[in-house]
Structure 1
Amino acid sequence: MKRDAVDGLERGDVVLLPNLPFALSPAEAALLDPSSVKQGTKTVKYDPDTGRVWGYAEGVDAAAVKSMMARYADYTRRLLDALIPTYGAALKIGNTSFRPVEAQGRDQSKRHDDTLLHVDAFPSRPSHGQRIMRVFTNVHPGAKPRVWRVGEPFETVAERFLPKIAAPIPGSAKLMKLVGITKSQRSAADHYMLQLHDRMKLDDEYQRTVPHRTVEFAPGSTWMVFTDQVSHAAMSGQHALEQTFTLEVDGMAHPEHAPVRVLERMKGKKLR
């Protein structure tokens, strides 16, 4: 099971644990309402390193929000440590997210529209080629699934879009860090990953015609995926918890599958 999980994740599969719910206390269950989120946003966030929580509406039980999200961060960390112990210290925990708003029908710009197929990249927090892994749990109290589309393999996406992407402008990464657009200096890998994300979402014909499959995640299920590698779109669903992790490429069992390694092979040079 452990070896299958590692191989599947790194190959670009979605690993589903269909009967692994995350139980909520009565106070936490009361948060399953879109009014729990601050107006104008779709997500409550929690930083496990600092304990900071933000994005919840005024009047919401802040202690319940923090308790739920801190428990989920610990739950997913323990899950991955048990399922993939080989990652060890190379796997770093990031922010926790709570999404009580229906994914379908939100009015957003294309770049922020997660119902469009895309691969993930951090605009303000350069990853320098590190992997982005996310663990999700559908905590809907009824029977509503969270519905995804899953698209082409990463290498196919890169072959389609990479030739159209210009190299980063010399000095631009240093300038973006200087003026505060990014928290650290972007690498060439960050530039290309962000461009792939944007070009996928902005290409209407691609979104209409690209081969994909639909996957439904039932309430009480947990799933994990390298979202920097797997082309995905959250089409509908409500009440999900999500935990972000980053992984050093050298900590992988099969580092040749990492997007940065794929891009480096295609460009014929190092991008970090």
Structure 2
Amino acid sequence: MSGSILPAQSVIHSLPNTQWDEPVNNASAVEALEQGKVLFLPNLAFDLSAAEQLLLKPELVDAKRKNISFNPQTGKVNGVAVEDTTPQVKALLERHYHHSQQLVNALLPEYRAELHTPNNTLRLHPVTAWRASSSWRKDDSRLHVDAFPSRPNHGERILRIFTNINPNGESRQWRVGEPFPQLAQRFMPRLKRYSPLSSWLQHRLGITKRYRSHYDHLMLQLHDAMKADQSYQQQGPQLALELPAGSSWICFSDQTPHAAMSGQFMLEQTFLLPVSGMKNPQNAPLAILEKLQQKTLI
């Protein structure tokens, strides 16, 4: 990394939690999170039993999938290659989901009633394994904000809780980029025009799960423009983070530019949050993009 180095206090907000249900000064945590900072919990581990540690094998993942996923609402597990291990994998992911709920209740109680559409993943491959085989659009070692081609979210926030469960003590290495307002201003002139007709056709043909709004179009364009710009990847404002085994961290991944550089074995819990459920909705990417565009985007 040779770009301008961001000050740590603008990127990361550390918390002392050692237990998933341990309350802290949540006002500062929510404010930092909604400003786009990473909430870093260096001492918040998710302990695995000896039997669960036996599940930490990349060959457990279906070759057609990147990760194993779990939907807590349906109880469905996808991506397990070894069928006999599905009950153990499900139990592990379900336990992490409940721990994540406890963390939200203790740390972010304002969000508790508004979070929805939970999804949990078990990531067993090393980052380097999928980097070489991915297209540049899918290469998550490039700085990006999350936006998904087939799953428009109409401005809802993407809240993610990560836990490094590496049994060998290996850290996960991240890069984190500049605040979203500066990012949006930087790339806005490059983003292609929105076509309501194209969005309607893509939804009608089943390419997208719902109609892609103007907001979703801009976010997807921003995601792609960031990843395609090699100069920005190398020279743009950023900070390298080392996330040790036994630590957890939280961010709004649609707002915080991030890139996974190395590491293996991680649990990740995703929730969606309506903008109206935020303490400071003006910090949402939707509000920032609407201000820049001077129009309603949903």
TM-score strictly above 0.5: yes
In structure 1, what is the equivalent of residue 270 of structure 2? 244
Aligned ranges 1:253-264 → 2 under 5 Å: 253-264=279-290
81-90 or 247-256, which moves further after superposition? 81-90
In structure 1, what is the equivalent of residue 245 of structure 2? 219
**Is contact 2:59-2:81 (8 Å) kept?**
yes
Residue 26 of structure 1 pairs with residue 50 of structure 2: yes
Aligned ranges 1:107-256 → 2 under 5 Å: 107-256=133-282
The separation in 1 between residues aligned to 2:260 and 2:32, in whole angstroms, is 21
C-alpha deviations, 1:40-93, integer Å up to 9, x for none?
432111111111111121355111111111111111012101111111322114
**Is contact 1:121-1:228 (8 Å) kept?**
yes
Letter of the 1:2 partner, please give it. Answer: N
Residue 72 of structure 1 pairs with residue 65 of structure 2: no
Shift in CA distance, 123/60, structure 1 to aligned 2, threshold 3 Å: farther
How far the C-alpha of 1:236 sits from its partner, in A, is 0.4
The separation in 1 between residues aligned to 2:268 and 2:279, in whole angstroms, is 24
Shift in CA distance, 56/98, structure 1 to aligned 2, threshold 3 Å: same
In structure 1, what is the equivalent of residue 80 of structure 2? 56
Residue 104 of structure 1 pairs with residue 128 of structure 2: yes
The separation in 2 between residues aligned to 1:271 and 1:132, in whole angstroms, is 18
The separation in 1 between residues aligned to 2:61 and 2:297, in whole angstroms, is 38
Letter of the 1:76 partner, please give it. Answer: S
Unaligned runs of 5+ in 2: 1-24
C-alpha deviations, 1:131-153, integer Å up to 9, x for none?
11100000011210011000111
Letter of the 2:294 partner, please give it. Answer: G
Q: Secondary structure at the match of 2:55?
A: coil
CA RMSD of aligned residues (A): 1.2
102-111 or 13-22, which moves further after superposition? 102-111
Letter of the 1:245 partner, please give it. Answer: F
Residue 43 of structure 1 pairs with residue 75 of structure 2: no
Letter of the 1:231 partner, please give it. Answer: P
The percentage of aligned residue pairs carrying the same residue is: 46
In structure 1, what is the equivalent of residue 15 of structure 2? none
In structure 1, what is the equivalent of residue 110 of structure 2? 86
Letter of the 1:122 partner, please give it. Answer: F
Task: Give structure 1 regions of 4+ aligned residues with deviation exceeding 2 angstroms.
Answer: none
